[in-house]
């Protein structure tokens, strides 16, 4: 059973919905703590008022296999982001504002529609800045029968206070761990404290949901799944990320070491980011993860074999 159903039946979800909405009066929803009144239309660093914007929604078959199964992961792509990654692979949505405002009823309809299409989960992509409208929509969707696991698929720059408010609401946390070096985080995402905030957020997420649990059909039900995109020239700080996960989170952490980096958005203007990673760079990253003691690596074994051919 999805975690939020228990909260709902204990009549505790409404309190979370109200708490999240009241935060918008002086927004501290993410670590930027802009302090602006989003209920009155003021706009902070995420460029988003109190209503969510959605770029697209539908079954997605490109996610990790425990999320996709046979019927797909039910993704909802939210417009805008609290990060400013100059290499963002979805920059037209996250940085250029592609998408439309949706009401809480429309957002609830999207969740129910994804469930009706047979998706295995509701995958909220870039949810950090729109937690309040998501909770409002969730309450409506539950009343119409929503029961799928909820995935919080974020860039990993999440505040502890907001995550604590989501305890018992989210079934699967899927944060990025983008960098381990502050200078690099500042240069490429505009946020120097990303590494420390990110590590604290991942700890809180794991504390809430534990290691990833996968059922007999191979579908993830609950837990933590971490994504780490390998950047050229060692810029993602893979060794520190995988050591942190193995030692301070769990050696059973399910990790997707991702090889699909390509220079998007403004990355081609930065010499160190202006190329794809080499097979050797990916292999080194995957081996660092194994050496750290992580054994649940999404697709890594087959990718290493592919590179060795
Ligand atoms: S959610 Fe948006 S407005 Fe609120 S603190 Fe973060 S960036 Fe600022």
pLDDT truncated to tens, each residue of the chain (309 aa)? 899 999 999 999 999 999 999 999 999 999 999 999 999 999 999 999 999 999 999 999 999 999 999 999 999 999 999 999 999 999 999 999 999 999 999 999 999 999 999 999 999 999 999 999 999 999 999 999 999 999 999 999 999 999 999 999 999 999 999 999 999 999 999 999 999 999 999 999 999 999 999 999 999 999 999 999 999 999 999 999 999 999 999 999 999 999 999 999 999 999 999 999 999 999 999 999 999 999 999 976 565 555 554
Nearest Cα residue to atom 3 of ligand 1? 44
- Report angle CA 225, 156, 241 to the nearest 5 degrees: 70
Atom of ligand 1 nearest to the CA of 129: 1
CA dihedral 166, 4, 153, 114 (to 10 degrees): -150
> Quick one: which of 135, 142, 141, 166 has its CA closest to 5?
142
**Which residue is closest in CA terms to ligand 1's atom 5?**
33
Q: Rounded to 5 degrees, what angle do the CA atoms 174, 178, 184 make?
A: 160
Element (H, E) at 214: strand 213-214
222 contacts 149 by C-beta, under 8 angstroms: yes
Ligand 1 probe mutation, 23, 30, 31, most atoms within 8 A of CB: 30
Q: Using an 8 Å Cβ cutoff, are 23 and 129 in contact?
A: no
Torsion of CA 71, 73, 74, 79, to 10 degrees: -150
Q: What angle do CA 120, 1, 202 make, to 5 degrees?
A: 75
Query: Residue 176: what are its φ and ψ, rounded to 5°?
Result: -80, 150
Helix and strand element counts for the chain (H, E): 12, 10
| Ligand 1 atom index nearest CA of 48 | 2
Counting from 1 in the atom list of ligand 1, the atom nearest the Cα of 28 is 5
Is residue 34 within 6 Å of ligand 1 at its C-beta?
A: yes
Is the distance from the beta carbon of residue 82 to the nearest atom of ligand 1 less than 6 Å?
yes
**What b/e string do you get for 156-165 counting C-beta neighbours within 10 Å, with b at 16 or more?**
bbbbeebbeb
């Amino acid at each position: 059973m999805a975690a939020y159903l228990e909260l709902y039946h204990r009549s505790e979800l409404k309190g979370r919905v109200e708490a999240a909405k009241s935060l918008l009066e002086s927004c501290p929803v993410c670590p930027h703590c802009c302090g602006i009144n989003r209920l009155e239309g003021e706009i902070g660093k995420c460029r988003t008022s109190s209503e969510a914007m959605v770029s697209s929604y539908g079954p997605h078959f490109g996610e990790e296999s425990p999320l996709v199964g046979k019927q797909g992961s039910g993704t909802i792509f939210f417009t805008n982001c609290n990060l400013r990654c100059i290499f963002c692979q979805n920059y037209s949505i996250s940085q250029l504002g592609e998408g439309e405002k949706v009401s809480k009823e429309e957002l609830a309809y999207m969740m129910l529609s994804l469930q009706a299409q047979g998706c295995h989960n509701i995958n909220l992509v870039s949810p950090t800045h729109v937690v309040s409208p998501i909770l409002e929509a969730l309450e409506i969707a539950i009343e119409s029968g929503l029961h799928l696991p909820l995935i919080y698929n974020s860039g990993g720059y999440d505040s502890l206070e907001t995550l604590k408010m989501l305890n018992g609401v989210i079934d699967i946390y899927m944060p990025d761990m983008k960098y381990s070096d502050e200078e690099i985080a500042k240069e490429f995402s505009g946020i120097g404290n990303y590494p420390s905030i990110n590590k604290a957020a991942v700890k809180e997420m794991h504390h809430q949901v534990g290691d990833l649990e996968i059922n007999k059909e191979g579908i993830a039900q609950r837990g933590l799944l971490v994504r780490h995109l390998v950047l050229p020239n060692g810029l993602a700080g893979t060794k520190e990320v995988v050591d942190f996960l193995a030692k301070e989170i769990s050696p059973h952490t399910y990790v997707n070491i991702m090889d699909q980096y390509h220079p998007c958005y403004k990355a081609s203007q930065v010499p160190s980011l202006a190329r794809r990673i080499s097979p050797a760079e990916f292999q080194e990253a995957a081996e660092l993860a194994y050496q750290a003691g992580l054994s649940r690596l999404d697709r890594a074994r087959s990718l290493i074999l592919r590179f060795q051919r």
